[in-house]
Amino acid sequence: MDSRSQAPYKSSSFSPATTRDDGGRTREVDRNFSLGALRDKRDVPHGGSREQSIKEEDEQEEGDHGARGGGGGEGPGSGAGGGGEPDLAALSAEVDAFLAGKDEDAPVSVTEATLERFASAVELLVARSEGVEDKWAAEAGGEPSALLAAITRIAALSSALGKSPEGGGKHAAAVNRVTSALHRAMAFLEEEFHGLLEDPRVPKTAGGEQGGAHEPDRCVLAPPPASDAGAGKESAPPYPAETVDRLRAMADALVAAGYVTECSQMFLVARRNAFDATLQGLGYEKSNIDDVVKMTWEALEAVIVTWTKAFRHAINVGLSTEHELCTRVFAGRHAAVGRGIFADLSRCVMLHMLSFTEAVAMTKRAAEKLFKVLDMYEAVRDASPVIEAFLSADKPAAAEHHSHHSGLAELKSEIAAVRSRLGESAAAIFRELESSIRADAGKQPVPGGAVHPLTRYVMNYLKYACEYNSTLEQVFREHHHGNGDDSNPFAAQLMEVMELLHGNLEAKSRLYKDPSLSNIFLMNNGRYMLQKIRGSPETNAMLGEAWARKQSTNLRQYHKNYQREAWSRVLGLLRDDGVLTVKGHVQKPVLKERFKQFNVAMDEIHRTQGAWVVSDEQLQSELRVSIAAVVVPAYRSFLGRFAQHFSAGRQTEKYVKLSAEDVETIIDELFDGNATSMTRRRT
């Protein structure tokens, strides 16, 4: 039988409960969710004792009972305490006999006096328990405390009376008395339950104060240190084992008495506050959509980092901790209540955190946002199996309580929807990179043929993007409209970006008027791309060795083109093509002109190509070595054959201005970004 059907006389703790006094007047039991100290309308003036008030009330009821009974005859309950303090143990035995008889074929009756005195005994025990620290401590042998046993017993008695003949007629006043005592006891139990949830480590003093002002409905548990926020780390239990045992005993009593709503709300509010406090301890503060949309990217980037950390903690640590706590506090026949609380808590906390992703998705798309969006995508993606595990664990029992199951199912659906939105946003942001490459059509060439800023940006962007290669492959499989084959869609997207960049650089190379410099520009940018790819195992694996070989081939071709454009004329001047010597005789005027042209050409090359930039030291060295290997031997041979035809002295100095070593020095000064003419260098 559902425990929620066992308390027909229960009144909600969210509204006043009423009962009737012995004169038939309605009196109110003060009960509300603030769970302050309970006070009956007939309590003694300030300075009196609740215990004394209950004793006087009990004696008055005894006198009334004696008057109604004519003062004679001792009923079954008259021996349970006589005219003094009620004997709770003896009265409990009579109540237990009555309750046991309800479940058997031979019912046992209970007298009105017993009901009234048992109600008074329970109230007296509750009053005496206020301010006692160990009132909930289990008895020897693990039995519930006397207080908890008494509250559980009066709840069962009230439920039983509602279904028996004793519940009406001549026993109506006594039954109302039991109901009143139950309300008092349950209000006290709610207050204690709530207090234990709020502060499980500091004993509460009489009146519920903790030595100072206490914020209502807040769990004062300190959040775990930030170092525990990583995925897979275990959090310390929110309550000591002894506290959990007491919470379970209290929850059993509350739920068995029909106070499911009150118990669930108190537990849910306390744990929600504790969960929020933990997230705040990790630096996460709730933000609304308007605030997020108005943030600068630098500010939003920092918030996303904090959100990702807090979300992973919530999924991997927080929810597991709360699930374990709900399972332990609401065990056995009340396990469904715990499942419902956990489902509500999970849904409330996680849906609010997930709303942050919606706000981020509403901000203006920009390429630099890709990596933080991917971080959020991965966190949300990794949450799905965790929620699925909770669903699977609760699936057999949840079939009987569909609402509990649907709470987690709703969360699972929302996580899937958020993941899809983030994935779509990530794919769109990456495609923005292609658009930015197409739109970069600047008409000003980079000075010195250096690496273009677009090349640096794109290659560094791709390097970081490839660190998310498996995630981006997943994203593009889910949000890519391709040909439907089994190839990696992200690799195809990456290749498309590289082709776009290559075409853009080819177009930019044509902005240079000097074909030699165009080839230097292509070499610089091509070498930078190749070095970046080979320096990143992820990018290299995505593009493949075939692309690297193709890029190396292109670089060799640019190199050949440069040497042909820049040095073929110089080498032509050093060649004996049948004009320098005619029939074995050197044509001195032609020789003089050759030396003059060579000197001018070398000065021009030194002045212009010295200002060109090759920042990659290896490429710079390769270029200088390859040039020297061709030009220096040719010039040395030319000098050896023809320098002797000039008269020693001024004539030689006028035409033979460079030695082979001078030419080699000039070549070694190329591509360092310094424009220096040969004349200035020699002076």
pLDDT in tens, 142-165: 677 788 888 888 888 888 887 766
CA distances from 550 to 494, 532, 570 (A): 16, 15, 31
pLDDT at 463: 94
Mean pLDDT value across residues 275-301: 91
Average of per-residue pLDDT values in the chain:
79
Q: How confident is the model at residue 522 (pLDDT cuts 50, 70, 90)?
A: very high
Better pLDDT: 675 or 298: 298
Of residues 134 and 218, the one with the higher pLDDT is: 134
29-38, 226-235, 444-453: segment of lowest average pLDDT:
29-38
Rounded Cα distance between 255 and 340, Å, is 13
The answer on pLDDT for 471 being more than 80 is yes
CA 301 to chain centre: 14
The pLDDT of residue 458 is above 50:
yes
Structure tokens that stand for 198 in this block: 């709020």
Amino acid making up residue 549 = R
Where does the pLDDT of residue 549 fall: very low under 50, low under 70, confident under 90, or very high at 90 and above?
A: very high
pLDDT at 442: 83
148: left (phi over 0), alpha (psi -120 to 50) or beta: alpha
pLDDT score of 26: 37
Residue-level pLDDT at 524: 97
- Which pLDDT band holds residue 57 (cuts at 50, 70, 90)? low
Question: Is the predicted pLDDT of residue 67 greater than 50, yes or no?
Answer: no
Q: Is pLDDT at 24 greater than 50 in this prediction?
A: no
Count of helix runs (H) and strand runs (E) in the chain: 23, 4
| pLDDT for residue 22 is more than 60 | no
CB of 256 closer than 8 Å to CB of 340: no
Give the residue among 344, 313, 310, 348 at the shortest CA–CA distance from 326: 344
Characterize 308-336 residue by residue with b for buried, 16 or more Cβ atoms within 10 angstroms of its Cβ, and e for exposed. bbbbbbbbbbbbbbbbebbebbbeeebeb
* Cβ within 8 Å of residue 614, ≥6 positions away: 449, 520, 523, 524, 620, 623, 671
- Give the pLDDT score at 15: 35
Q: What burial class does residue 607 get, using C-beta atoms within 10 Å of its C-beta: 0-12 exposed, 13-18 middle, 19+ buried?
A: middle
Q: What percent of the chain has pLDDT over 70?
A: 75
Structure tokens at 611: 């200002």
User: What was the pLDDT predicted at 107?
Assistant: 62
CB atoms inside a 10 Å sphere around CB 441? 9
Q: Higher-confidence residue: 439 or 27?
A: 439
- Joined together, the tokens standing for residue 571 give 């080498």
Residue 167 in this model has a pLDDT that exceeds 90: no
pLDDT band at 198 (very low <50, low <70, confident <90, very high): confident
For the ranges 333-347, 387-401, 626-640, 658-672, the lowest mean pLDDT is seen at 387-401
Q: What pLDDT does 37 receive?
A: 33
With 0-12 / 13-18 / 19 or more C-beta atoms within 10 angstroms meaning exposed / middle / buried, residue 391 is middle
Greater pLDDT, 678 or 631: 631
Chain mean position to CA 167: 56
What per-residue confidence (pLDDT) applies to 84? Answer: 61
* Band (141; pLDDT cuts 50, 70, 90): low
Which has more pLDDT, 580 or 220? 580
Instruction: Say which residue, 422 or 127, is predicted with more confidence.
Output: 422
- How far is residue 402 from each of residues 378, 390, 406, measured CA to CA in Å? 30, 14, 6
Compute and round to an integer the Cα radius of gyration of the chain: 45
Average pLDDT over residues 298-325: 95
User: Does the pLDDT of residue 205 top 80, yes or no?
Assistant: no
- Dist CA 275 CA 181 (whole Å): 35
Q: What is the pLDDT of residue 599?
A: 94
Question: Do the Cβ atoms of 592 and 655 come closer than 8 Å?
Answer: yes
The predicted model scores a pTM of 0.74
Measured CA to CA, the distance from residue 627 to residue 210 in angstroms comes to 87
Which residue type does 224 have? P
Asked if pLDDT for residue 233 goes beyond 60, the answer is: no
- Asked if residue 4 lies in contact with residue 260, where contact means CB atoms within 8 angstroms, the answer is yes
* Mean pLDDT (whole number) for 11-30: 38
Q: What does the pLDDT read at residue 391?
A: 87
Q: Residue range 111-140: average pLDDT?
A: 80
Who wins on pLDDT, 168 or 40? 168
Q: Which residue has the tokens 């920092």?
A: 302
Residue 2 tokens, joined = 């559902």
